[in-house]
A and B are shown apart, each in its own frame.
Chain A
Amino acid sequence: MSTAQKTLLLIGATSDIGHATAQAFAGAGWTILLAARNPEGAQRNRDDIAARSGAEVSTHRLDVLDTEGFEGFIDGLPALPDAVVCVVGEMGDQQQAQGDLAHAAKVIRTNFEGPALLLGALAERFLRRGHGTIVGVSSVAGDRGRGSNYVYGAAKAGFTAFLSGLRNRLAPTGVQVITVKPGFVRTRMTEGMKLPPLLTAEPGEVGAAILAAVSSQKGDVLYVRKLWRPVMMAIGAIPEPIFKKLRL
């Protein structure tokens, strides 16, 4: 795939994974559209990417909770991108989400409703054009609900299922859908947590893995650290009567 004129839309540009991913694509010669709720905050990342790569990088205002604004947002882009990567995610606070419905709703909307509807809307445009790549960054937390983060996990599970269905529907077309499950990543979100080294990726690894998957047009479900696949298979295989008694 020639990258001479390729454009990437990166949703969630102020996150560490978003920044690293945009960086990887810019380094490979892509033009970058950075979407963030706060374009001023994304400006610092924009400058960084442009300085390092010499690529064309612009910022665009987008609130993933403002679903009604999605069509207008897409119309307002300088061009329909060749690929979109959505890294939007917010873990929220599980304990708060148990009693505070507004907080729970926000976690679900931020991790599921917003990203799914936005990528869905872009998928229709890509389909009309005949090609495009959609990358949704979901989470291993969506593979099985756990007591410690099931509101977030359920939202990610919804997002994973949405991407899976979209991929299934669009398989015969020129539109590719990739689900990324990064596992643990050393970012602001996980700062201060004790993370197992073999299961923990750097943001740059996630960015490089996404670029490789998009460039090769191969891959459906991507675990950045390969060890996560057997780990999640094992967790998935635990019978529910046992699983429910584990503290996870």
Chain B
Amino acid sequence: MTKELFEVKTGLAEMLKGGVIMDVTTPEQAKIAEQAGAVAVMALERIPADIRRDGGIARASDPQMIKEIQKAVSIPVMAKCRIGHFAEAQILEALEIDYIDESEVLTPADEANHIWKHDFKTPFVCGATNLAEALRRIGEGAALIRTKGEPGTGNIVEAVRHMRTITTEMANLSILRTDELMAAAKNMGAPYHLVAQVAETGKLPVPNFSAGGIATPADASLMMQLGAETIFVGSGIFKSEDSEAMAKAIVQAATFYDKPEKLAEISEGLGKAMKGLDMVEIKPEDRMQDRGW
């Protein structure tokens, strides 16, 4: 793939910075998201909290539902395919989805291989729990990385863990000597050229967003202060008591993440946030963040 195409792929992520990307399941929800100031929507059949509750196999969404959402809004529309399911990704590309999320929220289709994303003209976003995982996805062609967090929980603890891990691991690389980088790449299991690039620049070669458990304006602020450039909100909006108010508040929080007085104002009287799940309530085999590698 040419460098030019990669710049066009990361370019759209640049335009989404400082914003909020919201999970929506209907054209009506998509309109609510757009009217609240979302910079993009993620079209899916069930939000992560419901996927978790219902069980069964979670697959890419019905093209008709995706098309209806594309018609309803003018902002970019993203959609999810299963990890390793390049045929679902090809279908999403044919639908002219603006960003494909190869997502652990859906049931993985391949436990060994992720999609070779360089083959696509459509940009991909992928989840990561640590730096090595992020660099493997970028090596496969991802143009945007997000923390995995633990989707559908309304619990920020895992997203915080993943963002802090990625940041610390980047800082650790930056103090290594050049002759130590190949060993670092070997130990991490990440492509050498990307390891060397992070060691030199101190940051990911693509934008770094956060997802998985964000449920309040304060959660959004926390992730932005920890280094996220944009926020994905899955179940946090449409599982809250007053979705419109919560959506609007999280949008404002992404802009004013570093202004506590403003955040206090924004957070006032929003009704109940989604109930959420403690990590101890989730069985190890139900942890979505452990899907993919």
Do A and B share a complex? no
Interface residues of A (CB under 8 A from B): none
Interface residues of B (CB under 8 A from A): none
